[in-house]
Amino acid sequence: MLKTQDLTQGKNWLSEAQRQQLGDVLRACFSNVTPEHYLAEHFDSPTADARSLRLYYAKYTAKCTTSSTDGSCHHTSINEHTIDDDVGRAGYKVVGFCLLSFTNDRVDKSIVIIQASAGFLPEYRRGSHTFQFSLWQSFLCWLKQPWRKIYYADAMLSPAMYRATAKHCAVVWPHPQHEAPTSLFERFNPQGQLSAHNNLRCLVEFGSHSHYSAQEIAQLKASRALEIQYFQTVNPNFNQGMALFVIIPVDLRQFIKTMLKFVGLAQCSNHKP
């Protein structure tokens, strides 16, 4: 069971130890970008008006290193920067994160744009860890200003992240079962590329790309999940730094339909033999 800690920029933000451990996660997730650059751009730059962050912690265990001289086992921590600034997290290390950034549109002041970034060490990339946090933070953003137009509008590198989002959210663009508003993709991704599959400006060169082993690529190619298949059809070069630009409207209709969908998924799960 992972422990979590929520941080808000401007109130309580990252300690040096947390930054060190996030660097380990970032190195395991992305290529062609240094942790320092990623942190500066996504966590510290003044471009966003607000940021919310959830850190995920796991208990660290000692690693046995066999001595070449006497064959004895010497135990060392798998990460020297363990979090010990809180009694509830003593002996734990950061294994994942979910970052949400909120930006007031510079042209249309009635629009708020939400962007997200997430990553986990390979052994913790199971389950939809980030969905509930992202949904709740988006709901809070809407609740504080329901008269504004709020959109999640950001690039997704990972087919798994797209699936976790599209599987649970009621309205997601692009999606094989939802007609996408072309104007919004032209508005939010004007420099993006058109997908040959849907003629939608929903592709974007990301610069960095996710670490995928040959086995992981094979598993994605063989996946029977609708969302995974669709992601790869629309964005066949996802493992070469091409991201899928995804837009999600954040409003009351979205929350009601998403909750109904969530209840339906839970009931289907409970009825499985």
DSSP string of 157-214, one letter each residue = --HHHHHHHHHH-SS-BSBTTB---HHHHHHH-TTPBPPTTT--S-EEE-SSEE---H
- Which helix (H) or strand (E) element contains residue 222? helix 214-222
| Two tokens, residue 207 | 């610069």
Of the residues 81, 114, 147, the one at which a domain ends:
147
Same domain as 272, residue 219: yes
pLDDT at 59: 87
When computed from its CA atoms, the radius of gyration of the chain, rounded to whole angstroms, is: 20
Q: Mark whether 58 and 74 lie in a shared domain.
A: yes
Range of the domain at 221: 153-273
Measuring CA to CA, which residue among 245, 229, 161 is closest to residue 195?
A: 245
Give the model confidence (pLDDT) of 91-120 as tens digits: 889 999 999 999 999 999 999 999 999 999
Q: Say whether both 97 and 137 belong to one domain.
A: yes
Q: Residue 74: what pLDDT? A: 41
- Give the dihedral sign, CA 165/170/173/179: positive
pLDDT at 82: 40
Residue ranges for the chain with pLDDT beneath 70? 61-90, 127-128, 207-211, 264-273
Structure pTM? 0.84
Q: Are residues 190 and 262 in the same domain?
A: yes
* 106/165 same-domain check: no
pLDDT of residue 61: 65
**Residue keyed to tokens 């087919």:** 159
What contacts 51, CB < 8 A, 6 or more positions away?
Answer: 8, 9, 43, 99, 100, 101, 102
For residues 20 and 87, state if they share a domain: yes
Q: Which tokens hold the place of 238?
A: 């996802």
Which pLDDT value is given to residue 194?
Answer: 96
Q: Cβ distance 128 to 222 under 8 Å?
A: no
pLDDT at 73: 44
Q: Of 95, 124, 147, which marks where a domain is finished?
A: 147
Residue with tokens 């001289």: 69
- Number of folded domains that form the chain: 2
Q: pLDDT for 231-272, tens place per residue? A: 999 999 888 889 999 999 999 999 999 989 877 655 555 555
CA dihedral in degrees (22, 28, 33, 37; nearest 10)?
0
86's CB contacts (< 8 A; 6+ apart) are 5
CA 201 to chain centre: 21
Instruction: For residues 170 and 100, state if they share a domain.
Output: no
Counting every residue, how long is the chain? 273
Cβ contact 85:15 at 8 Å:
yes
Residue that terminates a domain, selected from 128, 147, 166? 147
Q: For residue 189, which amino acid is it? A: N
Non-local (6+) Cβ contacts of 181 within 8 A are 173, 247
Quote the CA–CA distance of 32 and 210 in Å, as a whole number.
9
Determine contact, residues 189/202, Cβ cutoff 8 Å: yes
Q: Are residues 166 and 238 in the same domain?
A: yes
- Shared domain for 172 and 269, answered yes or no, is yes
